[in-house]
A and B are shown apart, each in its own frame.
Chain A
Amino acid sequence: MCTLEKRGRVLILTLTGSGEHRLGPGLISSLRSALATARSDPTVAALVTAGEGRFFSNGLDLAWAKNSSEGLSTLVRLVKPLIADLISLPMPTVAAVTGHAAAAGMMLAVAHDYVYMRGDRGVLYMSELDIGLPFPDYFMDLMQAKITDPRTLRDVTLRAKKITGTEAKERGIVDKVCQSASETVAEAVKMAEELAGRNWDKGVYASIRLSVYPKLCKSLEIPQESDEAVRKHFASRL
């Protein structure tokens, strides 16, 4: 489902196989496990997440949801801590969007600090309106945190627009557009290495990220750092 590869101080998490990498209980669990590994490895200083094949991730595993008695609500509930893991990860994160990223798959991508995407193929697409589903509140909070232009947010959520890498860059959803999947990964790794080379205190990095997105953190149930905890970061530097 996913592999972890270490290159120097960068950890590369790859969603494997030629399928849609839909988020079902198995894949969510694998991803959380991988992120826990990243979190606990003191030699790792940046994370890149990529996908094999035509898809980065095509969203929740709706087939699983249909066959399960608890269904869609369960998957929505299980993805929340996965997104929380990324938002609280104590290191810079770069998504290498190597294929289509739809619905929960797009959420996975934009939950990273940097989003690199191939421009030759693949779209970002919130399919919910087309399927007739509203958004879980933490999806909307994540989108509002990362997509601050109202017209872009409207096109993403209220127009269910399929957005290519190039358009996504113009509109502020994507940081860099690359010519191919392999170039996207290579550039993402290069950026991750550059960020790792800044030798930032990982706890402070996470603390700052959380303070940039307070509303999102509350929605993801990431505990707000107390003033004490923040002060500790200061004190440790003196």
Chain B
Amino acid sequence: MCTLEKRGRVLILTLTGSGEHRLGPDVISSLRSALATARSDSTAGALVVTNEGRFFCNGFDLAWTGNSKAKLMTLVSQAKPLIADLVSLPMPTIAAVSGHVAAAGVMFALAHDYVYMRGDRGVFYCSELDVGLPFPPYFMVLMRSKLTKPGTLRDLALGAKKINAIEGKERGLVDKVFESASDVLPEAVKMAEQLAARNWIGGVYASIRMSMYPDLCRSVGLPQESDDEVEKHFVSRL
């Protein structure tokens, strides 16, 4: 389902296979396991997440949920700690998107610090309105935290618009677009190496990221660092 490879100080998590990499209980579990490995690797300095095939992540595994609302709610609640894992990861994260990103997959991509994407194929698409589903609150908080350009959130969430990489870059979903698909991963890894080479303290990095998105942290159940805990970071530097 996913593999974790290390290149120097960069960890590369790949969603494997030619399928849609939909988030079902097993995929979520695999991803969380890989992220736990990343978290506990004290020599890792950055994480790149990428995909094989035509899809980065096409959303929840609706084949698994079938018509069961309860099963869908299960996936919604299981994906929450996955997003929390990314938002609290003590290292920079880059999504190297090489395919379509839809619904829960959009959340998964947006939860990374940087989004690199191929320019020739793949769209961001919140399908919820088209399939008649509202957004789980933490999905909306995540989008509101990351998408502040006028019209972007409205078009994505309220317009179910399919946004390609180039438009994504203009509208603040994507940082860098690559004409050649084969450039996405190497460039993401290069950026990851540059970030890892800054030798930042992982705990401080995560602390700063979480302080940027307090509403998101609250909504995915990440405890807010107390003033004492923040102060400990200060004290440790003197």
Contacts and interface: CB of A to CB of B under 8 A. Distances in A.
A66 interface: yes
B208 A132 contact: no
A149 B149 contact: yes
A119 B152 CA distance: 31
A158 B113 contact: yes
B4 interface: no
A150 B238 CA distance: 31
Contact of A158 (B205, B225, B227, B234): B205
A129 interface: yes
B166 to A, nearest CB: 16
Contacts, number: 72
Nearest to A139: B211
Interface string A137-163: 100100010001111011001111000
B148 A129 contact: no
B221 interface: no
Interface residues of A, number: 28
A235 interface: no
Interface stretch (B26-34, B73-81, B129-137, B196-204): B196-204
Contacts of A151: 172, 175
Chain A at the B interface: SS class: helix
Contacts of B212: 140, 144, 153-154, 157-158
Interface centre among B195, B205, B234 (most CB of A within 10 A): B234
Enumerate the 9 nearest inter-chain pairs by beta-carbon distance, A residue then B residue, closest first. A134-B207, A132-B201, A134-B233, A140-B211, A150-B146, A132-B237, A129-B200, A134-B230, A72-B234
A128 interface: yes
A149 B147 CA distance: 8
13 contacts: A71-B238, A72-B238, A130-B200, A132-B201, A133-B204, A134-B204, A134-B230, A134-B233, A140-B212, A144-B212, A154-B113, A158-B208, A158-B212
Most chain B Cβ neighbours within 10 Å, of A73, A134, A150, A158: A134
Contact of B211 (A65, A132, A135, A154): A135
Given A133-B233, A134-B233, A140-B211, A160 B198 contact: yes
B148 A149 contact: yes
